[in-house]
């Protein structure tokens, strides 16, 4: 278990470089008029909430594949998507009033409140810049959840399905952030506020 502040301390490398670059690019505009960025930031938060719900459903469903040939690849796919969610969520929630009081220095300045979540300039920038990425994550988790349910049903009926046809997300290296793009799926938006304490992995 950890807070968003703790997650942020562990988060870094190319991700921190990515956010630094986005702050240089968008920070001044967000500072001048944070309200103008509300729509894009709101959509990213909705995507993260929906993706989290789908990941939790996947995690719950994986136990039904234990002992089958589908279990190991399904867990590997879940772990990759879950890691992506944590990278994106930390960028946003780690720069919000949910990160808690810092050990030193002043409290972060909230410039935009969405629902019950207060975002700093960096938090708004992260949400806006990650818009395409959060959409892709939401779509891919929806597809994996759909496939998982099909495989669980097939396992109960003693049927074997072909190997997964879902594209594997490319691993991000130290120089850039790798992403994948899938077709759109319509899903319901979730709540903006996530628990301060969350648990990673399976």
CB-based contact 24:116 (threshold 8 Å)? no
pLDDT in tens, 99-111: 876 555 556 799 9
What is the structure's pLDDT at 26?
Answer: 97
Each residue's pLDDT tens digit, 15-45: 999 999 999 999 999 999 999 999 999 999 9
Q: Rounded distance, CA 78 to CA 70, Å?
A: 12
Instruction: Give residue-wise pLDDT tens across range 135-188.
Output: 999 999 999 999 888 877 876 766 665 555 555 544 443 333 443 333 333 333
pLDDT score for 69: 83
Please count the residues of the chain. 202
Tokens of 24: 């240089």
Q: What is the pTM of this model?
A: 0.78
Output the pLDDT for position 88. 96
Q: Measured at the alpha carbon of residue 21, what is the angle toward residues 34 and 30, in degrees to the nearest 5?
A: 5
């Amino acid at each position: 278990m950890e807070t968003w502040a703790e997650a942020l301390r562990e988060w870094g490398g190319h991700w921190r470089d990515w956010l630094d670059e986005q702050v240089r690019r968008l920070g001044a505009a967000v500072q001048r008029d944070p309200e103008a960025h509300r729509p894009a930031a709101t959509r990213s938060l909705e995507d993260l909430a929906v993706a989290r719900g789908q990941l939790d459903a996947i995690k719950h469903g994986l136990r039904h594949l234990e002992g089958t040939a589908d279990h190991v690849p399904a867990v590997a796919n879940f772990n990759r998507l879950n890691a992506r969610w944590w990278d994106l969520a930390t960028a946003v929630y780690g720069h919000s009033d949910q990160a808690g009081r810092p050990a030193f220095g002043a409290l972060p300045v909230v410039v935009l409140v969405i629902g019950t979540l207060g975002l700093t300039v960096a938090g708004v920038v992260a949400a806006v810049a990650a818009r395409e990425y959060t959409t892709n994550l939401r779509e891919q988790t929806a597809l994996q959840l759909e496939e998982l349910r099909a495989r669980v049903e097939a396992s109960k009926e003693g049927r074997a399905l072909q190997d997964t046809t879902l594209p594997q997300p490319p691993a991000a290296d130290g120089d850039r952030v790798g992403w994948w793009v899938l077709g759109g799926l319509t899903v319901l938006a979730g709540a903006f506020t996530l628990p301060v304490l969350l648990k990673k992995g399976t």
